[in-house]
Amino acid sequence: MSAIRVLVVDDHPVVRGGVVGWLAAQPDIDVVGEAGDGLEALAMVASLTPDVVLMDLRMPRMDGATATGRLAADHPAVRVLVLTTYDTDADIVRAVEAGATGYLLKDTPLPQLADAVRAAARGETVLAPPVAARLVSRMRAPAADAPTARELEVLAGVARGLTNAEIGRDLFIGEATVKTHLLRVFAKLGVDDRTRAVLVAVERGLLPSPGR
């Protein structure tokens, strides 16, 4: 069998170097390139045709979830395996909905990471245990208690201190649509104002804590 071609995407050179070093030492894995953000990753996938892309989420210029969605549309044969520090519902759902094959956390032991790359190359879904637990809990929760990925994006804008108009510009939606999403989030979280909505969302792990 030919080696699994892997592209590693992370904006932290030290983290990226450690992952590349370990994977490159595996006899059945060939690290064909490294990228520091989503835009660079898209260009490199087009030229290097990797089998698996190890994708960080929060990066400059283009984040990992957006890049994953683009790859799923333009290069459906490429498997995207998210490798990130973040395990909130909003991050997980957005990545999975974008088309990620798997979702791992950066505390994953390196031998398990190599096994996950192999599994992703076979088309298998790979989830870190905490991520799997969150997804199961989310599926079991009543629909009324589960904000959609778009609603969480709007609420994340609120958490950043943006106005409805600013959130609308960021997400390319109208201000009225922003208000509708917020009203739905309020109902689902059982709150009646923006501040309380953000606090409850952070408490439930739907949004990252301030400073993360």
Q: Which long-range contacts (CB under 8 A, 24 or more apart) does 177-181 make?
A: 178/154, 181/150, 181/151, 181/154, 181/155
Percent of the chain residues past pLDDT 90, beyond the cut: 52
Contact 54, 19 (CB under 8 A): yes
Integer angstrom CA distances of residue 102 from 8, 25, 119, 141: 14, 22, 9, 22
Residue with tokens 């969150």: 134
Q: Is the dihedral of CA 40, 72, 153, 206 positive or negative?
A: negative
Cβ atoms 175, 168 nearer than 8 A:
yes
CATH number of 149-204: 1.10.10.10
* SS3 state at 26: coil
Residue 76's CB is within 10 A of a number of other CB atoms, namely 9
Average pLDDT estimate for 71-84: 92
Q: pLDDT tens digits for 139-154?
A: 555 555 678 889 999 9
Helices marked H in 29-144 — which ranges?
Answer: 38-48, 64-74, 89-98, 110-121, 129-140
Confidence band for 44, pLDDT divided at 50, 70 and 90 = very high
8 A C-beta contact, residue 159 and residue 198: yes
Give the pTM.
0.66
Q: Is the pLDDT of residue 30 over 90?
A: yes
Cross-strand bridge partners of residue 80: 53
- Superfamily designation of domain 4-140: Response regulator (3.40.50.2300)
Q: Compute the mean pLDDT over every residue in the chain, rounded to the nearest whole number.
A: 88
Of the listed ranges 71-80, 94-103, 137-146, the one predicted with least confidence = 137-146
Max Cα–Cα distance, the chain, nearest Å? 58
Q: Nearest CA to 57 among 19, 86, 98, 28?
A: 86
Residue 201: both structure tokens together: 């969302």
What pLDDT is recorded for position 188? 85
Domain boundaries, the chain: 4-140, 149-204
Q: What per-residue confidence (pLDDT) applies to 133?
A: 73
- Give the pLDDT confidence score for residue 138 in this predicted structure: 62
Chain segment 163-205, per-residue pLDDT in tens: 999 999 999 998 888 988 998 888 888 888 889 899 988 888 8
Q: What is the DSSP string of 198-210?
A: HHHHHHTTSSPPT
At residue 96 the predicted structure's pLDDT band, cuts being 50, 70 and 90, is: confident
Hunting for tokens 């778009």 — which residue is that? 150
- Enumerate residues 6+ apart whose C-beta is below 8 A from 159: 198, 201, 202, 207, 210
pLDDT band for position 37 (50/70/90)? Answer: very high
Side chain identity at residue 76, one-letter code? P
* Chain centre distance of CA 27: 28
